[in-house]
Structure 1
Amino acid sequence: MRPDDDLPAMLAHAWTLLVRGGADRKSPVHTPVIASVDEHGLPHARVMVLRKADPAAATLRLHTDARSPKVAQLNGMPVAVLAYLPAEQVQLRITGTARILTDDEVVEDIWNQSTLFARRCYLAEHPPGTPLPGPSTGLPAWIEGQQPTAEQIGPARANFATLWIEVTAIDWLHLANSGHRRAVFRSTNDWAGEWVAP
């Protein structure tokens, strides 16, 4: 039997790739595309950083600026996640429901575990998407190229939000010269999975 002929193995492989993507900056899965639709029915897609994947809870965690327009587009809404691993020739298409959390103990712990340098981007003076008179990082001039102190980073906390995606389906596709393989796993089917035409 080929290794990609076993449905439980394929689901486990998909989650292994996601877990690795959350932990390994060099993994292509570390920066998936997150797609959504706004209140006018217009599509939006953006690359985001996957921070953690939890197979037991079937969730993905990412971070964002609480002031970003995408927060309203995503919170409580269906989303799609797309990642591709060229070396393994595996594509993952994931669907789920997004929720934004900003103020509970879990989010506070996540904030405190982040490096000061990582937290620096939340010091941006304007919400993402704000028109500017010229090219800019959006950061205050005093912090450009600097690592902030714990005291300096304090005001940034109000701009930090976590994006959680409750995964409802994983579409796993392996491209191979010997023949492609594709399987779809859904939470509504207790993740049993089914083979579908590539």
Structure 2
Amino acid sequence: MTTAARPTFEPARGGRGKGEGDLSQLSKQYSSRDLPSHTKIKYRQTTQDAPEEVRNRDFRRELEERERAAAREKNRDRPTREHTTSSSVSKKPRLDQIPAANLDADDPLTDEEDEDEDFEEESDDDDTAALLAELEKIKKERAEEQARKEQEQKAEEERIRMENILSGNPLLNLTGPSQPQANFKVKRRYCTVNKLEILCICIQYRLYIKYKLYV
């Protein structure tokens, strides 16, 4: 059985001294977190850019030395790059270094090539004209087909409209072969009875009441 709800054996009691019976006074206990901390100012050490070290340093001279070192490192890699570039350029001959004989042998400029180019251009023009003519023919055929379909649709709509007009008028639809013969006789309502039927119903009711007979 749990003892969490039981009172303590030594409950809090006020002292008997002066001021100890007043439980509303502040407690004399305090936490270690309430103690004063960082009571001394921290100064820069020897390797932390202390004022004495910074005062004696020449920042301009250090910057110039770093720039010269970077320039030397950059110039050290430049000859290798120039050698590589020069070798690649030397492999590819320049245009002015090619002899004239080679130019004449490799790239002959004659009238035959000009004629071939003109013939190819003319053939391309002819092909383009043929394609354009075929395209116009296809467009014309499509337009004619569209017009024919629209005309057929209009004729079908007119035929359906006329059939609806003829079948909607009962005077014109009496002699139709497929329509049944119309009957214009007024039908009798289910609640409409004549006097004789009312008299018969009354006689049957009286006989049933008086003699318990059902006629």
TM-score range, shorter chain: under 0.3
Decide which structure has greater helix share. Answer: 2
Give the TM-score taking structure 2 as reference length: 0.13
Larger Rg: 2
Normalising by structure 1, we get a TM-score of 0.14
More strand by share: 1
More relative contact order, 1 or 2 (CA 8 Å, 6+ apart): 1
